[in-house]
Amino acid sequence: MDAKPYNKRRHLACAKLLLKNSDLQSLRHASLELRYFLEAHVYERLLKDADQLPKSIIQKWEPNKAMKMLSMFDKLADMDLKLTITEHDGSSPITIQYNNIKNSELTKIYNTLGSYLHLPQPSKAQNYHINKEKLLKIFDTIKTLIQGNLIIIKTNYDSFECESCHQPILFTTWYVTNNESIICQNDSCKVEHFIERYDGGCRFGSKIACTCTCGAELEIFHSQFKIGQIIKCSSCSVEYRVNPNLLPID
Ligand SMILES: [Zn+2]
Ligand SMILES: [Zn+2]
């Protein structure tokens, strides 16, 4: 699996051509090409990191999700990078300054472009137009993503097994030090795991500790816990119903 099927430059070139025009069709088409450009960029980034990411996971990510994941995990998302190269004695320094485009900013642009791909709401349909100035500005901002001296620092991904669906859940050190919980990235699961940090590491937990009369641990997840819910013991098949049971504090 490599990044070759994606060709950022082609989409950017198409957008540039279309932006010479001012009619609605051309601007709409330009928005689409700019969106393809961002998608190609994100897939390229992810595939570059692929050796650390379970491939089976990213292969199924749709562009929207890939965008979200990248801004969620990238510790450099909010940083401008500065690289200084000097002689051994520290003399004649050369500084490379790279103004990073935040991944959160990319996501915002991606959504703005997406909004141009729909028909306008009836209340706005009469005078609908796409702001060409805004599109040109977006073009200028994101075209830097093809410049060669872009500094990308590898993000170290790690994963743990979801306690519910048993699929790997991805995380980065940056993410776990800045968040209290993480949601399973399997769209049909989405069970929330709480992050418990300790010296030199962290633990993830999604279950409420509860034991069946047979001694087996019950599968009760914090994020899916509901009054009236039926819980079946996987060991002895006894069923329980979750009932409110308030105890007065003495
Ligand atoms: Zn899961
Ligand atoms: Zn049981």
**pLDDT tens digits, residue range 69-92?**
777 776 555 555 566 777 777 777
Task: List pLDDT tens digits, range 184-226.
Answer: 988 889 999 999 988 888 899 999 888 999 999 988 898 888 8
Ligand 1 is an ion; residues with CB less than 5 A from it: 162, 164-165, 184, 186, 189
3-state SS, residue 63:
helix
Q: What is the pLDDT of residue 97?
A: 60
User: Binning pLDDT at 50, 70 and 90, where does residue 121 land?
Assistant: confident
Closest Cα partner for 184 from 205, 214, 209, 201? 205
| Ligand showing the shortest atom-to-Cα distance for residue 217 | 2
54-58, 146-150, 174-178, 234-238 — which one is most confidently predicted on average? Answer: 234-238
List, in sequence order, every residue forming a beta bridge with 239; answer none if it has no partner.
232
How many whole angstroms from 224 Cα to the centroid of ligand 2? 20
Q: Which residue has the higher pLDDT, 59 or 188?
A: 188
Q: What is the pLDDT of residue 135?
A: 96
Q: Which residue has the higher pLDDT, 228 or 79?
A: 228
Tokens 């790997």 locate to 168
The CA distance from 245 to 43, in Å, is: 50
Ligand 2 is an ion; residues with CB less than 5 A from it: 212, 214, 216, 233, 235-236
Q: CA of 60: how far to CAs of 56, 143, 191, 214, in Å?
A: 7, 27, 19, 40
What does the block give as tokens for 237? 């098949």
Q: What is the pLDDT of residue 171?
A: 87
Task: List pLDDT tens digits, range 8-17.
Answer: 899 999 999 9
What does the block give as tokens for 56? 């089976």
Cβ-contact 42, 63 below 8 angstroms: yes
How many whole angstroms from 39 Cα to the centroid of ligand 1? 25
E strands, the chain, are 81-85, 94-98, 157-161, 168-172, 181-183, 192-198, 201-205, 230-232, 239-241
